[in-house]
Amino acid sequence: MTALRAVAAVVVATIATIGTAMAQDWPTRPIRILVGFGPGGGTDITARIVAQPLSEILGQPVVVENKPGAGGTTAADLVAKAPKDGYTALMMSNAHAISAVMFKTLPYDSVADFRPVSMVGTAGLMLVTHPDFPAKDVAGVIAAAKASPGKYNYGSPASAPRSTSRASSCASSAASTSSTSRIAPPRPPSRLCAARRSSSCSS
């Protein structure tokens, strides 16, 4: 708990320096931390672990709200459009960066519309397959997918809890926009939009 309080203290100190919109008596009401995925996932658990000591330090409720949908972009959009007053934050995951290249357009700028507060933690990602799958490493999975386009499926923890695919991916905090998707070559990175709106707090 000491480590968590230390992380929370860093978050508080960083938030308190953001912008002039925050008065010296901040916070005077509850703070919302939006999570772009359902309860029980890695991002949600991390947000709830941090929220408790953060609330104790600030003396105000820190409420975690799950806004799942579209690979985390639903929550990100809500935070991007929220007032820049320090009362709405986003528990960001690697999905935030991935969305910028997965979607042709987004209703927000993945960089300019957010201001990082603090890194809360890191998590590894793991790719697993059925024992009978011919590939034994990532290079083999890619080769098999290229050799048979559209043949294999994958699933991620942001989707249904069970997958019938023979080639499935399992990651602690990855995001997917559907329960099963075709393995396909990655799209080229899309150009991020120019800065439009002022930053909002994101953790």
Encode pLDDT of 105-126 as tens digits: 999 999 999 999 888 888 777 8
Residue 11 binned pLDDT confidence (cut-offs 50, 70, 90)? low
| Contact by Cβ (8 Å): 127, 155 | no
Please give the pLDDT value at position 79: 96
Please give the pLDDT value at position 127: 87
Q: How far apart are CA 60 and CA 67, in angstroms?
A: 22
Q: Which two tokens stand for residue 32?
A: 């919302």
Helix ranges (H only) for the chain are 2-15, 42-58, 73-81, 94-102, 138-147
Q: Does domain 2-122+198-202 have CATH number 1.20.1050.10?
A: no
Q: How confident is the model over 131-145, as a mean pLDDT?
A: 91
Please give the pLDDT value at position 159: 42
Q: How confident is the model over 167-180, as a mean pLDDT?
A: 32
The residue that leads in pLDDT, 24 or 101, is 101
Q: What is the separation of C-alpha 27 from the centre of its chain, rounded to a whole number of angstroms?
A: 25
Half-sphere exposure of 105 (CA within 13 A, CB side): 1
pTM here?
0.62
Q: How far apart are CA 78 and CA 73, in angstroms?
A: 9
Three-state DSSP state, 70:
helix
Amino acid at residue number 70: A
Please give the pLDDT value at position 172: 30
The residue that leads in pLDDT, 186 or 41, is 41
The structural domains of the chain, with segments of one domain joined by +, span 2-122+198-202, 125-182
